[in-house]
Structure 1
Amino acid sequence: MIRVERVGPLATIQDLGRPGWFDSGVGAAGAADRGSLRLANRLVGNPEGAAAIEALLGGVELLALRHLTVAVTGAVAPITVDGRPMGMASVLEIEEEQRLRLGFAGSGLRSYIAVRGGIDVPPVLGSRSRDTLSGIGPEPLRVGDVLPVGRPPRTHPTVDVAPIAALTAGPLTVRVVPGPRADWFADAAALFAGEWTVSPDTDRIGARLDRRSGPVLRRAVDTELPTEGMALGSIQVPPSGQPVVFLADHPITGGYPVIGVVVDADVDVVAQARPGQAVRFRLSAPDPGSRA
């Protein structure tokens, strides 16, 4: 068991989501940075899709009510156990009554705290993820919450720490496949010219972008677009011309044209982009990866 002693801007429980419910109007949700969740779970010996804590910008404190094996990945933040500094992406053994503190992230946006056995809250439609758009799944964490931990798996962690690429505060390069509505714009190539900036108005639904440099995206078609399905990573452009990259809790349909779709592997990169950070789009061939 774990007791929540402090919560930062937002902390939710996330796994790899609930695919397969689009026909019922329910999106997949799940971890915004799937790679970081998978790594945290592998470090503690869990299946990759076990439920963990996703902490926006850190600021979380947890009290262990029994011995726990924990790993923290994603956005880089100071980690201490009873005041002793610990490493990111390492296996941490926390004893009963010890406190794990996650400071505020210096780079990246979302950190993942995995515990051996997984966070064992009741699943909803097959997933323990919180969908912030629909309100499905466990409530965001609050001070005083006690989180159950599942039965430890038979496998054991085989490493002490994982080598990880450093998150950068500099410009990000994100690969994009054009379309399906690139022809609705006077010059769809404008998406790839200059730089965009991540807006403060960004969340698990989508990363909203402001133009930093380069030409404005202008519509060539003024008619209304019938509502159509939206994939993870879709770059939807509303009348303002400021695109939105859809993330984990995106709506499953939309009525604004999609100028391109972020390559699946780069969706995690966008999920870790902080407000004010520069983003450059690069033209890519179609991605064979799956979408949700």
Structure 2
Amino acid sequence: MAERSATRWLEVLATGPMVTVQDLGRPGRGDLGVGRSGAADQAAFRLANRLLANPEDAAALEVTLGGLQVRARGDLLVALSGAPCPATVADSAGRTRGAGHQAVEVLPDGATLRLGVPRRGLRTYVAVRGGLDVPMVLGSRATDVMAGLGPERPARGAMLPVGPPPARFPHVDLAPVTPFYAGEPVLDVLAGPRDDWFVPGALELLCSEPYEVTVDSNRVGMRLRGPGLARARDGELPPEGMVPGALQVPPSGQPTLFLADHPVTGGYPVIAVVRTPDVDRAAQVRPGQRVRFRLVRA
């Protein structure tokens, strides 16, 4: 449908470690066993679309650790947000200029946008005015890597159709650059629904020492390494609904922080839940960094 009517495209020349198409996901389908998915850092994703006067849920690219190269087929406007990375635009004659972050950039027909590795943060968003008009699956263009739903991950040579531009034009051409996280980000948590499954003081222990983000982390969740959280009860729970930000603790005692593509249900107890604004922050923490948790009251 979109591919037959598109007049503008993004041609993928290189993807780097990982690129997916995302929007704001598929809310309200948990009864079907379908998670929300969508952009891991939703605040950054929304900002890129607002800069282009797109609807906030217009589909865009989520780029992990840079390396993306795309060529415009037709004149385009693009915006980058999320993890700031070195970016250049080379026109069809080979002339190269720098591209700004959290700013509107012109990508003329035949020009190539290249992203380097971000100095801080993990995920960069590349939005295009009109949005990526790939086919919807269950009402969304988000790629859920755990469930295997949505568009395939773009590969070299893919041609991504761009939708018609919105009627209104952007009112701003840049936004303040969000500071990204050096050191140890502090994530606010609420006590979880199963904190009573752990020994006294376990929740305080969670919040007293840093946890390292391991290389096993992905869009499903951040696997953490730090002080072990011991249980006071044996056995396992019946499957329970999970949400982004849930800190689930398997028998190893090492918690996993669920992100955008988390499972719909889980059987390990949840000791705490990261507050929604800090889930976006967590999505920008790189493997090898450490995070801290701070207990807050609802």
TM-score above 0.5, yes or no: yes
**CA positional deviation for 1:105:** 1.3
CA contact (8 A) 2:248 2:255 kept: yes
- 2:174 aligned with 1:161: yes
Work out the number of aligned pairs and report it. 283
Runs (4+) of structure 1 exceeding 3 A deviation are none
Instruction: Please give the residue correspondences for 1:48-87 in structure 2 after superposition, counting only pairs within 5 Å.
Output: 48-82=56-90, 83-87=96-100
The one-letter amino acid paired with 2:11 is R
Stretch moving more, 141-150 or 180-189 = 180-189
Partner of 1:29: 37
What is the distance in 2 between the residues matched to 1:242 and 1:169? Answer: 23
* Equivalent residue letter for 1:144: G
* Rounded Cα–Cα distance in structure 2 between residues aligned with 1:9 and 1:121: 21
Q: Secondary structure at the match of 2:28?
A: coil
Would you say the 8 A contact 2:191–2:272 is kept in 1? yes
AA matched with 1:197: E
Q: Distance in 1 between matches of 2:194 and 2:239?
A: 13
Q: State which of 200, 211, 230 in structure 1 corresponds to 2:215.
A: 200
Q: Take 1:124 and 1:4, find their aligned partners in 2: how far apart are those partners?
A: 21
Per-residue CA distance 1:122-145 (angstroms, 9 max, x = gap): 100000000000100000110000
User: Residue 107 of structure 1 corresponds to which residue in structure 2?
Assistant: 120
Structure 2: which 5+ residue stretches go unaligned?
1-8, 91-95
Please report how far the alpha carbon of residue 151 of structure 1 lies from its aligned counterpart in structure 2 after TM superposition: 0.8
Aligned to 2:229: 217
CA contact (8 A) 2:219 2:260 kept: yes
In 1, the alpha carbon distance for the partners of 2:177 and 2:85 equals: 14
Deviation per residue, 1:16-53 (Å, 9 max, x gap): 00111111111010000000100000011101111000
Query: Are 1:259 and 2:259 an aligned pair?
Result: no
- Pairing 1:7–2:15 present: yes
Matches within 5 A, 1:135-146: 135-146=148-159
Is the CA contact (8 Å cut-off) linking 2:86 and 2:116 kept in structure 1? yes
Match of 1:235 in 2: 247
Report the counterpart of residue 289 of structure 1 in structure 2.
none
Name the TM-score, length of structure 2 as normaliser: 0.94
SS at match of 1:207: strand
Query: Is residue 228–residue 252 contact of structure 2 (8 Å, CA) maintained in 1?
Result: no
TM-score, normalising length from structure 1? Answer: 0.95
Percent of aligned positions with the same letter in both sequences? Answer: 53
Secondary structure of the corresponding residue to residue 58 of structure 1: coil
Q: Does the residue aligned with 1:76 lie in a helix, a strand or coil?
A: coil
SS in 2 for 1:175: strand
- Counterpart residue type for residue 130 of structure 2: G
Matches within 5 A, 1:259-278: 259-278=271-290
Q: What are the ranges of 5 or more consecutive residues in structure 1 without an aligned counterpart?
A: 287-292
Query: What's the offset of the Cα at 1:169?
Result: 2.2
The Cα of 1:58 is off from its aligned counterpart by 0.9
| Distance (whole Å) between structure 2 residues aligned to residue 67 and residue 170 of structure 1 | 40
TM superposition shift of 1:188:
2.3
SS in 1 for 2:238: coil
1:206-237 CA distance string (max 9 Å, x none): 011111xxx43111111221111111110000
Alignment-derived partner of residue 283 in structure 1: 295
> C-alpha separation between the residues in 2 aligned to 1:28 and 1:97?
35
State the alpha-carbon separation in 1 of the partners of residues 277 and 73 from structure 2: 37
The two structures, once aligned, show a CA RMSD in angstroms of 0.8
105, 111, 114: which one pairs with 1:98? 111
* Separation in structure 2 between the aligned mates of residue 40 and residue 72 of structure 1, nearest angstrom: 6
